Structures are given as structure tokens and as C-alpha cells.
């Protein structure tokens, strides 16, 4: 990936650009090894007693650091800092724009000051005033090239970043249709955005996501699979969703005990809504791992490119929900070319054409608002049977996956969130 655009890196320091990234990791050494291999970063331990635990360099530039998870000012994961002209004014704007100040403006040197602010959804961002800053990240392999966050309420979030980080924003328009997504435009270049929660079909908490430029997307995907412990050569069933009763994950885990021994099970499942469901899922995963290999549980929220790599390495997507108004996660999987095995409840049959784009699992449910199967063992056996059918018949699965992708493209148009994702990516690339 190389930069050929005239406006890819303005020479001057411009307020509103992302200028620093930090990863709050439970295992700094493992994270460092992954990003060294993936992006070619030089990661070294910082001097003892200094403000940083590590220093991340790429192409001769200090771009960020890795810090211990217990030091995170908010949720673990990536934190982004934006250039501002006046950190004290920016901190004041954060409070008047519906956010809050987490760390008051602090002078680091004579030419540098910083603060931390929380947006209306609780996402912590850095505000950095630095006369010696090198400017925006260049648009090239190994560098952060796009940043976005999804908000529970779009308009207050857009106001927060416009007034606090100094974003001049514009509403994203694709094919003459306005989208629930705002991008920042600074120095003729757009590198950040804020969208409405659900824009990409994700059922995860609001959080900043960082996209990195790579020379070889296939190599990057392979590195992702290696990091996550996924075997790309095994037949694979994948689940993506929050850990809630409605998503039916306990039923899936019991059904997976009945799958052929060589089948790999990937669970992209986190954010449990109750301690009880969390404990139940933990126990069922442990029991499943006692009986079979290839059970991969990913609790972290994966960046979008990594999630797509996981889906692309799978053979069948499964949606065992006992309640699902539409099933946007199914559309996402179908857009990647996966057949879907899903419960015949709610809006799922509107998405899956039984026998054409996937297989529906019959379910008789208690009519008390919970959606609980009347005969859980029967539901789980039927789920296992249909998963086995597709994961052992690669030709049928491939044909259904192709039909699934066509159905998304032909019948869901702009409601197909996965297609929106592709459009956003293409739009961003076109901006240079």
C-alpha cells in the first residue's frame, strides 16, 4: 500500500487529526509480537520511570505505545488521541458538548500538553497539544489509516467530536444516499468518522477502531488467524454475537458436542449481559474443550478487518438465536459468502432461504416472551444435524454461500449492512 495522492499527508500540523495511539493490553509481549509480524513495527521497552511502558516506531517515526491493561483510563483496547490547538479549550468544549474530562489538562513539557476526555458513550480519547508533533500519520503500509467509532446517539456524538477534537464534519453520501455516518475532513483528507450504532451490524459496545495499511491483505489475514489460534485447514463453524439469552449460545455449545470431531468451532462472543449467562457459557465452553479440539473462543471485539478474516476462513455461519428481529449478523456473513444455519424464528426466515442460502432449524418456543425452546434437546439435535450437513458437504456449502451473497446484493440493497461496510472501505480508499 503506497500513497500516491497529493493531499495524503499535509505538511503542517492540523487540529482534528489522530496523532497518537495506545493499546492497553493484558499481555504486552504477545501484542508486540503480533504487531511486529503483522505490520513490521519496531517495539521497544521505554526508559524506566518515564511516562510510557513501550515505544512503537514505524518508518522512523514514534507512532504510539503499548500499556498494561490495568492502566487503561477506560475500556481495554485501543485509545486514540487527536491534535488540538488548545488543550484547555478542548477540555472545556468536551464538557459543554455532552462529554466529560477524565484527566485534566496537564503540561508534559514546555511545548506539549494533554488531557483525556470521555465522549457521550463513555469512550475515552486523548487531546494533545504539541508544537513539535510530526503531523498526521502518512497514508502507507504499517501506519494507522482510518479511525471510526459507533455511537448510540449519532448527533450528540458528532457534536462532541466536532467541538472537542475540532473536526469539520460532513455526512457520508454514497450513491446519492445520505448515510448515518459522519467523517472528519481536515486538510483535504478524511481519516476519522463517527456512525450510528448498528451501522455495520455489530452488536457490541461503542468503541474506537483503528484500521492499518498493509501491503498484502492475504498475509495480514493469515497473521490474524495465527494470532487467534485458528486453523484455516479445518472445516469450521463460526458464531458472532453478544452473550445473551436471546442469542442462544448455550444451545449452540451443547449442539457442538454432536459435531464431527474434525470440525473447528469459532466463538466470537463477548459482552455478557448478566453474570449468570457468563458463568453458564464459561462452563459449557470448558466442557466442550474437554470433549474436542479446535474450540476457539474470542472474547475481544475484533477490528473489522480481523473479523472479516475470521469469517472468510470459515465454512458455515450459525445463528442459534431464540429471538432475532432481523438478523443483521446473518447478512454480514452472507455478504462474505457464507451459508447460514439459523433458527426459524423472528426475522431470521426473512433473511435465510431454507435450502438455498442456508438451512433453517425448526424451533417450538414457550410463549412467555423469552423464546425458550419447548424441547431444548430436540432443537440442539436439529441444529447439530444441519451444521453437520453443511460442514461435511463442501460443494453444497459453497453453492449456498454464493447464493447467500447474491441474495444480499439483490434483495437487501442499502439495508445490507455488510455491503455498506464494503462501500465505506471503497469510499475511504478513493479519498486517498
Q: Which three cell numbers stand for residue 331?
A: 447478512
What is the structure's pLDDT at 197? 76
Instruction: Say if residue 4 is exposed, middle or buried (CB neighbours under 10 Å; 0-12, 13-18, 19+).
Output: exposed
pLDDT < 50 stretches in the chain: 1-11, 202, 413-416, 418
User: Cβ–Cβ contacts within 10 Å for residue 153, how many?
Assistant: 13
- Is the Cβ–Cβ distance between 304 and 211 less than 8 Å? yes
Which residues of the chain are in CATH 3.40.50.2000 domains? 228-424
Q: Which three cell numbers stand for residue 225?
A: 488467524
Q: Which three cell numbers stand for residue 297?
A: 473462543
Q: Which three cell numbers stand for residue 409?
A: 446484493
What is the structure's pLDDT at 206? 67
What is the structure's pLDDT at 175? 53
Which residues make beta-bridge pairs with 343?
361
Cβ-proximal residues to 377 (8 Å cutoff; 6+ apart), any chain = none
pTM, rounded to two decimals = 0.59
In angstroms, the CA 73 to CA 125 distance is 9
What is the structure's pLDDT at 223? 83
In angstroms, the CA 418 to CA 103 distance is 37
What is the structure's pLDDT at 9? 41
What is the structure's pLDDT at 263? 97
Which residues make beta-bridge pairs with 62?
57
Q: Output the CATH code of domain 18-215.
A: 3.10.180.10
Cβ-proximal residues to 95 (8 Å cutoff; 6+ apart), any chain = 101
- Parallel/antiparallel/unpaired status of strands 144-151 and 124-130: unpaired
CATH 3.40.50.1820 assigned to domain 228-424? The reply is no
Which residues of the chain are in CATH 3.10.180.10 domains? 18-215
The model's pLDDT over 53-75, given as tens digits with 9 standing for 90+, comes to 999 999 989 999 999 988 888 77
What is the structure's pLDDT at 2? 40
Amino acid at each position: 500500500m503506497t500513497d500516491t495522492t497529493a493531499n495524503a499527508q499535509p505538511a503542517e500540523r492540523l487540529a482534528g487529526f489522530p496523532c497518537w495511539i495506545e493499546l492497553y493490553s493484558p499481555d504486552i509481549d504477545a501484542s508486540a509480537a503480533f504487531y511486529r509480524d503483522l505490520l513490521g513495527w519496531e517495539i521497544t521497552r521505554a526508559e524506566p520511570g518515564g511516562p510510557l511502558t513501550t515505544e512503537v516506531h514505524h518508518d522512523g517515526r514514534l507512532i504510539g505505545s503499548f500499556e498494561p491493561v490495568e492502566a487503561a483510563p477506560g475500556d481495554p483496547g485501543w485509545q486514540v488521541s487527536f491534535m488540538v490547538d488548545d488543550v484547555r479549550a478542548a477540555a472545556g468544549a468536551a464538557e459543554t458538548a455532552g462529554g466529560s474530562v477524565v484527566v485534566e489538562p496537564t503540561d508534559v513539557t514546555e511545548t506539549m500538553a494533554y488531557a483525556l476526555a470521555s465522549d457521550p458513550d463513555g469512550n475515552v480519547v486523548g487531546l494533545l497539544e504539541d508544537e513539535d508533533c510530526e503531523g498526521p500519520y502518512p497514508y502507507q503500509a504499517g501506519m494507522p489509516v482510518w479511525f471510526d467509532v459507533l455511537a448510540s446517539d449519532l448527533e450528540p456524538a458528532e457534536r462532541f467530536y466536532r467541538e472537542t477534537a475540532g473536526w469539520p464534519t460532513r455526512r457520508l453520501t454514497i450513491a446519492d444516499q445520505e448515510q448515518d455516518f459522519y467523517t472528519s475532513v481536515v486538510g483535504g483528507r478524511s481519516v476519522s468518522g463517527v456512525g450510528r450504532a448498528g451501522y455495520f451490524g455489530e452488536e457490541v459496545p461503542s468503541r474506537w477502531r483503528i484500521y492499518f495499511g498493509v501491503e498484502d491483505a492475504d498475509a495480514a489475514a493469515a497473521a490474524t488467524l495465527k494470532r487467534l489460534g485458528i486453523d484455516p485447514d479445518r472445516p469450521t463453524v463460526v458464531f458472532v454475537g453478544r452473550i445473551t439469552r436471546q442469542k442462544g449460545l448455550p444451545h449452540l455449545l451443547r449442539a457442538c458436542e454432536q459435531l464431527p470431531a474434525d470440525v473447528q468451532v469459532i466463538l466470537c462472543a463477548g459482552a455478557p449481559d448478566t453474570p449468570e449467562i457468563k458463568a453458564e457459557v464459561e462452563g459449557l465452553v470448558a466442557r466442550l474443550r474437554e470433549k474436542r479440539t479446535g474450540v476457539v473462543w474470542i472474547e475481544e471485539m475484533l477490528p473489522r478487518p480481523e473479523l472479516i478474516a475470521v469469517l472468510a476462513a470459515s465454512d458455515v455461519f450459525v445463528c442459534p438465536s431464540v429471538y432475532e428481529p432481523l438478523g443483521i449478523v446473518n447478512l454480514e456473513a452472507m455478504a462474505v459468502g457464507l451459508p447460514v444455519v439459523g433458527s426459524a424464528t423472528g426475522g431470521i426466515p426473512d433473511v435465510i432461504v431454507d435450502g438455498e442460502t442456508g438451512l433453517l432449524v425448526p424451533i417450538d418456543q414457550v410463549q412467555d416472551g423469552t423464546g425458550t425452546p419447548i424441547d431444548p434437546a430436540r432443537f440442539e439435535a436439529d441444529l447439530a444435524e444441519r451444521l453437520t450437513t453443511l460442514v461435511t458437504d463442501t460443494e453444497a456449502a459453497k453453492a449456498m454461500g454464493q447464493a447467500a451473497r447474491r441474495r444480499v446484493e439483490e434483495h437487501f440493497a442499502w439495508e445490507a449492512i455488510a455491503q455498506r461496510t464494503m462501500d465505506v472501505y471503497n469510499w475511504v480508499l478513493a479519498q486517498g
